[in-house]
Chain A
Amino acid sequence: MENCEIRRLKMLLFNNSRIISHVHIFGEDGSGRSEIVRQLLRKPENDWVCVLGDFLYADGSLKLLFDSLASSLGFKTRGDRAENFCDNLYKYVQWPDETNRKIVIFLDNAQAITDYPPVPLQCLFDSYKAIQEITIRFVTSAPSCLNQYHINLSHLPVVEFHIPAPSVETTKVLISRANPKINAQFLHVACQSLFMACKSPNILLSIISDAWLMYDERRTGDKFDSTLAKECLNRSSGEKLGNVVGENLAKENENSFDAMPLAMRYLLIAAYCASNNPHQSDCRFFVKNHGREKRSEKKELRLEENRLAKDLGPKAADLQRIICIYETLLKINESTITGFDLKSVIASLDSMGLVSVTNRSNLDIPKIKCLISLESALKISRSLNLELRNYLEHAT
C-alpha cells in the first residue's frame, strides 16, 4: 500500500480526538487489511495502548472475547458485561501516560458479529462513552462494510477505510521477494495470465512456485520458452483456478459414472426425465415415438420461447411415473434386467444427494426430484448408449 495511505490510516488509528470512536477497515481477502493494522498497532504512537481481539475466535461468546482482550492487557475479567470490562480497563491497565489514557481495541473478522447476541454487542460498541477519562477506539476489520453485517449498528459514527486489492506490480514485487529464484520474465507472464482469475498474493505465490519448478525441470537452454511456461502455468493452476486444461482431465471425468450399477443409472435417467419434462409429454416421448419424434423448426422456436419465459428447475415427480419411465427405458436396451427393489435404489440415490425425496410424511405417494445437471445426465446416458436429448422437452 502507498505510504500516504498508511499515513492516513495512522491518522485515524492514533488520532488524539475522541470524536473518532469507531474505525472500520474493509477490503478484499488477500489485500492484507488485518496484517497492515496489526503491524501498525505493534508500534503505537503518542502513548496509545493497543490490544487485539478476534470475533471469529470468540465464536459468538462475548465472555470469551473479553477474556482474550483482558489477558492480553494483563488482568482477569469475568462475565460478559461491557461496563465491567471498561471499569477494569480503567483500573488495571498499565498506561504509559496516567493523565491521558488512550486505548485502541482491534477486533478482527468483524463479519462474525452476526453470531453474537445483538443487545450485548451493541453495548460493547456503545461503551466508548462509558468512562469520560478514557479514550476508547474500536477498530474492526471485515471484507465488506459494517452495515452489511449488523443493521443495529447503523447509529454508530463509523469512519470507514478501504484497503484496495494489490495491483499487478505490487504482486510481482511480493512474489519475487518471497521466492527470489523465479525468473523475472516467467513471473511477468504468470501474473499477466493468472491475474484474471485470482488476485490473492498467497495463492498466486503457490501456483507460480509450482509452475516454476515444473518449468525449470523441463526447459532446454537459457532462452525463455513462453509456450512451455504457459503449459506449466496451466497445469499448475488447473485445479485451483479452474483454467481450461487439455483433454486428459475431461476424459477422466467421462468415465466417473461407469462405477454405478446399471439399474441405478437407468433409474437416475428416468428420474431426470420425470423431473424436467412436463407430464403431458410422457405419452409422446415414451409410448408413441420412443424419442424419434420429428421436431419442426417452428415448434423448436416456440419451445425455446417457452423455455426463456420460465425459470427452469427440476420439479418433484411421482414415484409411479418414474418407475414407468424406468421400465420403458429398460425395454429399449436391457430387457433382461428384472427383480430390483427400486425403492432401495432410490433410497441410495437420495443418500448420495443425486435425488431428493419430499413428501416423506405420506409414504404411499413420495415425490422425487432429480438434482443432477444436464451434463451429468448426458454422460450417464452416453454410457448406457441412450440418446437422452430425444426424450427431453427442453434440451438445456
Chain B
Amino acid sequence: MLSPSDQEIVAENARRALDLLDDQVFGLTEQERQIENIVYDFLQSKDGKCALLEGERNCGRESTLRKVLNKYHKELRVINAGFVAADPNYQQELAKEDDEGYFVFLVRDADKLITPQQQKFLYTMVDKATHFSWLVFFSVSRHDFAQNLQKQATSRIPKIQVSFDATHDYEEYCAALTQFLIPGGSKCEESECYKRFVKNLNFQTWLRPVFETSHYVVLKQLAAQFLMLFGYYCDVEDTWKPEEISKQIRKIVETTSPSYNGKLLILKDQTVRAQCVFLCVWRLVQNKESDGPLLAPKTSYRNVFLEFKKLVNQHYPPLNVSSDVYVFRELDHLVKMGILKADESTNVTNTSFRKVWLHINDKIVEDSISKLQLPRVVSDFFMTILK
C-alpha cells in the first residue's frame, strides 16, 4: 500500500516514462552499430550508397535508423513502397527531385515492388543515390527479396545488409520491460520509490506466456498500457491497492496470452439457441469424413436442423422452434460472426442444402462445452459423443 505522496511520485514518473517510451529500442545494439557505421561512412565520404534492412514486421528497423540519425541531426525521408505500388505516377513525382544536398531515404516495404515495372523504381533510387549522393535504405521483410529481383536490379543493389533477426531469452525480455518502465538515463532512475514499485510488480512470474508468443512490439504495447494506468487512471484511493493493480495488469495481459481466443469469446456471447445450433454442427462434423484430404468435413443446413430437432424433441423442449427458418437464421448469424463457414457459391438455390462447416478447431470446441452455461441435459447430449 502506497502513501498519497508515494502515489503521486509513481504517477509522475509513469507519465515521464510514457513520454519516453516511443523512442526506446531494446535488443538491437549490434544492428545500431552497423547502421551507425554506414551513416558515418556516408557523412564522411559523401559517396552515394544503398543498404538493405532485413527483418520481420515491427522489429524496429525504422526506430533504430531514426535513433542513429538523431545523433547526427540528420532528417530521414520516408517513401512508402505501398504508395508506389498502388500509384504508378509516384515515380514521376520523385524523378522531379532536384539535387539539394545529402539526403537519407528509407524505402519502406520495398519488397512490395515485385513486378518488373515496379522494380524500375528501385533502379531509379539506386541511380539517383549514386548521382546525387543519397543514402538509401531499403526496408524489406521477405527473406527472398534479393532472389526476386530482376538482373538489372541485382547488379546495382550493393551487398550492404543489416539483418534484424534478433533472438532473445526470457531474462532479456524481462529486462526489456524493466527498461520500458524505467527508461535509462532519465529522472525515473533517480526515484527509489518508483523503482521499488516497478520491482514489486514481479512480472517475472507472469510474463512468460507473453514471451513465448509475442515480439517486443507487443511488450511495448503492454508497457504503454501499464504506464497509462499508473500515470493517468489510478485516480481513486482504492485503485492503488496491490491486489487491484494486479487485477488490472492481469486483464491487460490476458489478451496477449496464447490461450486467448476471440472466437471463443464470441461463442460465449451467443444465445443458448445459437450455441446449441453451433454444437449441432460440431457434432455432425465430428461423425463425418471430409470429401478430400485437404477439405474440412461439411454438413448441410437441413441436417443441422434435423439434429437440432432431435435435441429438442428428446432432451430439451423449451428450445423448440416453429420453423426451420429460425435455425437457418442462427446458422447465417454464426457464419457472419466467423465461427462457422458456409458455402457462398452462386449455385446454392435453396438454403436447406447449403454446406456449412467449422471455423474453429474442433478440439477447442470440445474443451469449451463445459464452460458454456448450457442446461445440464443439453451439455450431456453433446458430451455423449465422447464415450
Contact = CB atoms under 8 A, between A and B. Distances in A.
Interface of A: 4, 7-8, 10-12, 14-20, 26-28, 31, 46, 81-83, 111, 119-120, 122-123, 126-127, 129-130, 132, 143-145, 148, 155, 157, 159-162, 164-165, 195-199, 238, 241-245, 249-250, 311, 313-314, 353, 356, 371, 373, 396
Interface string B319-331: 1111111100000
B255 interface: yes
Interface string B266-287: 1011111100000000000000
Given A129-B62, A161-B255, A197-B273, A143 B337 contact: yes
Contacts of B263: 144-145
A313 B221 contact: no
Nearest to A11: B228
B251 interface: yes
B202 to A, nearest CB: 21
A4 B262 contact: no
A242 B325 contact: yes
Nearest to A154: B57
B323 A148 contact: no
B228 A241 contact: no
B248 A31 contact: no
A241 B318 CA distance: 13
Interface of B: 18-19, 21-22, 57-58, 62, 66, 78, 80, 82-83, 85-87, 108-109, 141, 217-218, 220-221, 224-225, 227-229, 232-233, 248, 251-252, 255, 262-263, 265-266, 268-273, 288, 299-300, 302-303, 306, 318-326, 336-339, 349-350, 352-353
Most A CB within 10 A of own CB, among B66, B141, B303: B303
A188 B56 CA distance: 55
A111 B333 CA distance: 13
Given A27-B266, A119-B86, A127-B80, 13 more contacts: A28-B266, A83-B83, A126-B109, A144-B263, A155-B58, A164-B265, A164-B269, A165-B270, A199-B269, A241-B326, A242-B322, A311-B303, A373-B324
A19 B220 contact: yes
Contacts of A162: 255, 262, 265
Given A18-B22, A144-B262, A162-B262, A244 B272 contact: no
A120 B108 CA distance: 15
Contacts of B349: 353, 356, 371
A242 B326 contact: yes
A11 B248 CA distance: 11
A196 B271 contact: yes
Contacts of B272: 195-197
Nearest to A148: B338
Contacts of A27: 266, 269
Nearest to A253: B323
Listed from nearest, the 5 A-B pairs whose CB atoms lie closest are A242-B326, A144-B338, A17-B224, A165-B269, A148-B338
Nearest to B352: A373
Contacts of A353: 349-350
B180 to A, nearest CB: 10
Nearest to B87: A81
Interface SS of chain A: loop
Nearest to B62: A129
Nearest to A369: B349
Nearest to B270: A28
B233 A19 contact: no
B146 to A, nearest CB: 21
Given A15-B225, A83-B83, A243-B322, A28 B337 contact: yes
Contacts of A83: 80, 83
16 contacts: A4-B251, A16-B228, A28-B266, A31-B269, A129-B62, A130-B78, A148-B338, A157-B221, A195-B272, A198-B271, A242-B323, A245-B322, A311-B288, A353-B349, A353-B350, A396-B306
A8 B248 contact: yes
A15 B228 contact: yes
A353 B348 CA distance: 11
A2 B74 CA distance: 48
A11 B269 contact: no
Contacts of A242: 321-323, 325-326
Contacts of A371: 349-350, 352-353
B255 A160 contact: yes
A161 B220 CA distance: 17
A143 B322 CA distance: 28
A145 B262 CA distance: 7
Given A143-B337, A144-B337, A159-B255, A243 B321 contact: yes
Most B CB within 10 A of own CB, among A159, A198, A249, A353: A159
Nearest to A244: B320
B233 A10 contact: yes
A148 B360 CA distance: 12
A310 to B, nearest CB: 11
Contact of B269 (A10, A28, A249, A250): A28
